[in-house]
Amino acid sequence: MKTFNVTKRVSKQARQMCEEIINTHEKYSKAYFWSSNANASGRRYAEQKFKEEHPDVCFVKDGTEIRVSFYYKQSCRNVYYNLDVSIYENGELIKRGNIRDIKKIIHA
């Protein structure tokens, strides 16, 4: 999991990662209507490739952790995608977030 420390000034790398997360979400949010690969090995390969290209990310800001993880799966008929944003304080889950929480990091 990649970790970025976010202060009042967001680093260039953290900003790029936030923008990449937003772009990925915009691209894959309608993935349910896509056609999946024809065979099982093609589907598993696509899932593995997605996981390698989109690792889990953690942003740390003033003791609060914002953990971002992606879920991508292909079945015989459909493609499933989900963005999971979890916000932790002192190691305890306090909120399930969404893409707006990622956008707030950029504009903070």
Per-residue pLDDT at 108: 59
Q: Please name which of 56, 57, 61 lies closest in space to residue 105, comparing C-alpha atoms.
A: 61
* Chain centre to alpha carbon of residue 88: 16
Identify any residues that bridge with 66 across adjacent strands, giving them in sequence order: 59, 87
Q: Average pLDDT of 16-41?
A: 89
pLDDT in tens, 57-96: 999 988 889 999 999 999 998 899 999 999 999 889 998 9
pLDDT in tens, 38-54: 899 999 999 999 999 99
Cβ neighbours of residue 46 closer than 8 Å, sequence gap 6 or more: 36, 37, 72, 74
Cα–Cα dist 14/16, whole Å? 5
Q: What is the mean pLDDT of the chain?
A: 89
Cα–Cα dist 32/39, whole Å? 17
Residue at 100: amino acid letter: R
